[in-house]
Homo-oligomer: A and B are copies of this chain.
Amino acid sequence: MTVQFDRIALIGIGLIGSSLAHDIKRLGLAKEVVIATRSAETLKRAEELELGDRYTTSSAEAVKDADLVIVSVPVGASEAVAKEIAGSLKPGAIVTDVGSTKASVIAQMQPHMPDNVHFIPGHPLAGTEKSGPDAGFPGLFAGRWCIFTPLEGTDEKALAALSRFWETLGSKIDVMDPEHHDKVLAIVSHLPHLIAFNIVGTADDLGTVTESEVIKYSASGFRDFTRLAASDPTMWRDVCLHNKDAILEMLARFSEDLAYLQRAIRWGEGDKIFDLFTRTRAIRRSIIEAGQDVDAPDFGRPHTLDKKG
């Protein structure tokens, strides 16, 4: 591979930042990678993992002379980062982010961005339930979508250079407006996470069924939800607060549908229940056909004959 940017600054070095660091190094996409994070402890860990070439707790310091700046912080911290780096950005630099909400990130960052940099909001749809610099790994973005929500008048060359960067990591690019992004993500990502957090909370609060029973028998369905519910609390709190309108709309629809199902159960309306349960099967099939999930039963979890439970 060839160098795409002389210097890349990674602001934030959690799951996404550290996965980017692995890929940039592996593919030789930069001459120098500078890593910044506010926590001295996290920074030390990034250095131990040899994720970059230079390390600093100052975002302003990190972005000096950087050609590409990637902000990978909880979305609620976007404005603070924008303010901190604004005065130190190199003219012509590309500044992007990886936040799960886009309208809010734009509102927080754009006002602080100098006219002579290219601010291109982005969101790679990739990740796991793990967090922190140890959670990153090479190839996280391969085969996944990266959505850009460029502002009016975005420089075509800058967008092409950023697209090429993500494509080199194996991502597929989509472009849409920030409001549509936020609605799409509210249903495909934010609502599922909220529901998972919520049901795990409900199970934790029961008097008649003990927590040890919930854990012991979790393989019968419940455990699937606990994976999403183990995701980073700070990141997800920020998503809730920063995509409020779209999330509230999806929550309202979900609750309405659940009330309909609940009523069908109460009144023994088997046909209505059967219709819903049949319809949802088709969506799973489409997702597998689109290559967006494995077809192996139970997500391919091991069911070995010598398994100890």
Residues on A facing B (Cβ under 8 Å): 125-130, 135, 137-140, 142-145, 170, 172, 180, 183-185, 187-206, 208-209, 211, 213-231, 233-234, 236-237, 240-241, 244, 247-248, 250-251, 253-255, 257-259, 261-262, 264-266, 268, 270, 273-274, 276-281, 283-287, 290-294, 297-309
Contact = CB atoms under 8 A, between A and B. Distances in A.
Contact of A209 (B184, B244, B286, B291): B184
Nearest to A298: B128
Contacts of A303: 128, 137, 139-140, 142
A82 to B, nearest CB: 20
B216 A290 contact: yes
Given A209-B184, A283-B214, A308-B291, A220 B142 contact: no
Number of copies: 2
Grouping DSSP codes into helix (H, G, I), strand (E, B) and loop, the A interface class, with mixed when no group exceeds half, is: helix
Contacts of A188: 203, 209, 213-214, 217-218, 220-222
A144 B307 CA distance: 9
A142 B307 CA distance: 6
Given A187-B202, A240-B273, 16 more contacts: A125-B219, A126-B219, A145-B216, A183-B208, A187-B203, A188-B213, A188-B218, A191-B202, A202-B253, A216-B292, A227-B284, A230-B285, A236-B273, A244-B266, A251-B258, A299-B300
Contacts of A143: 307-309
Contacts of A229: 277, 280-281, 283-284
A195 B224 CA distance: 12
A273 B197 CA distance: 10
Contacts of A237: 270, 273-274, 277
Contacts of A208: 180, 183
A200 B192 CA distance: 10
A280 B201 contact: yes
Contacts of A257: 198, 201-202, 205
27 contacts: A125-B219, A128-B303, A139-B303, A142-B304, A142-B306, A145-B219, A184-B213, A185-B217, A187-B206, A188-B221, A188-B222, A192-B221, A198-B254, A199-B254, A201-B261, A202-B257, A215-B286, A218-B287, A224-B225, A224-B227, A230-B285, A231-B277, A255-B258, A255-B259, A294-B302, A299-B301, A300-B300
B219 A248 contact: no
A309 B292 contact: yes
Contacts of A200: 280, 283-284
A233 B139 contact: no
B233 A281 contact: yes
B279 A221 contact: no
Nearest to A19: B303
A306 B192 CA distance: 28
